[in-house]
Amino acid sequence: MYQAVSQSFFGVDVGGTTVKLGLFDQDGHLLEKWEIPTDTGDRGSHILPDIAASVKTRITGTGEVAGVGIGVPGPVDQAGTVFRAVNLGWGVFNISEALGELLGGIPVFAGNDANVAALGEMWQGGGAGYRNIVLVTLGTGVGGGIIRDGKILTGARGAAGEIGHTYVRDGETEVCNCGKKGCLEQYTSATGIARLARRKLTGTGRPSSLLNQNISAKAVFDAVKEKDELAMEVAAEFGEILGKALAATANVVNPEAFVIGGGVSKAGNILFDYIVPYYNETVFHACRDVAFELAILGNDAGIYGAAKLALDNRAAEYGKLGS
């Protein structure tokens, strides 16, 4: 029989410039959050020792640390093998084993950062109440994470949900960060939306409130709310590309809900006015009955999801051992 004791979990979200950490109780309450810089020197070899040292400062001795979850900016399989994380300088290794050892044997569970964020949003964010969601993060890039039956859909090599690099348009001349051309990210990320707007403005002589300012995704959607015609055309172009891509995604995994996060999601529900018509127009009829929600955890989605990953894995272990 498993004996309930006071337990805590850590959620860790490794980014290219900072590592976010959160301490959670066994009921999923965030007790404290903080961050440390990401030291990408020496091929990222200081990152895990820095994380371990920081986690240890919060281990008080009362109660038990039941597990640590960690989200990594790169593909991670279910066994915790990282398949390179370019921004951190990391190659291929098992992060669960490596960090677990630094923490004196505390169980560590790892996932891709976008997938882990999706788990967080399903747990206590915009996807709460659903068990099958796709989180789409529209930020500097476009990330995706898929949750099915309450668990991360990892894929064979931890690369499931990478819809930001799905090919959506012929004839693109600029190159995406991934090295290809015509990726979803090039039109629907914050930078992509600004680019669509610049293309529509350049040399056309058309009037728009966007002409008088620094063009950003925020400026575009602010202008849409003021009924700026050119901005509304940009939003429609964005909505068509994203709506069709989400329809294609739904035909593959048939989620209950799409949760839209990242900086662009701050525009609010007006996004859905532009996405949903194209989604409904192109999706298979059996996948039409889907909810569209806004993410609400912001930058904390990663630490929430990482903690949930640890919590679920430990609960599964208890389930196997006991009762």
Q: Smallest distance from the beta carbon of 286 to a copy of itself, in angstroms?
A: 4
Binding mask 236-255 for a copy of itself (x = CB under 8 A): --------xx-xxx-xxxxx
Angle 317-319-323 from CA coordinates, rounded to 5°: 135
Segment near a copy of itself (CB under 8 A); pick from 46-54, 146-154, 269-277, 294-302? 146-154
Nearer to a copy of itself, 98 or 253 (CB): 253
Q: If binding is defined by CB under 8 A, does position 40 make contact with a copy of itself?
A: no
Instruction: Find the helix or strand (DSSP H, E) in which 200 lies.
Output: helix 190-201
The one-letter amino acid at 204: T
Q: Is 193 helix (H, G, I), strand (E, B) or coil?
A: helix
Segment near a copy of itself (CB under 8 A); pick from 27-35, 52-60, 145-153, 295-303? 145-153
Q: Smallest distance from the beta carbon of 249 to a copy of itself, in angstroms?
A: 5
Q: If binding is defined by CB under 8 A, does position 285 make contact with a copy of itself?
A: yes
Binder among 8, 96, 154, 188 for a copy of itself (CB under 8 A)? 154
Alpha helices in 205-300 (DSSP H): 217-225, 229-253, 270-282
The half-sphere exposure of 312 on its side-chain side, counting CA atoms within 13 A, is 19
Segment near a copy of itself (CB under 8 A); pick from 43-51, 54-62, 117-125, 159-167? 159-167
Q: If binding is defined by CB under 8 A, does position 158 make contact with a copy of itself?
A: yes
Q: If we measure between CA atoms, which residue out of 315, 243, 251, 301 comes closest to residue 273?
A: 243
Nearer to a copy of itself, 150 or 298 (CB): 150
Please give the Cα distance from 281 to 240 (Å, whole number).
10
Q: If we measure between CA atoms, which residue out of 35, 11, 38, 13 comes closest to residue 22?
A: 11
Please give the Cα distance from 188 to 180 (Å, whole number).
16
Q: Write out the residues near a copy of itself by the rule CB under 8 A.
A: 75, 78, 83, 131-132, 144, 146, 148-149, 153-163, 165-167, 178-180, 182, 244-245, 247-249, 251-256, 281-282, 284-287, 289-290
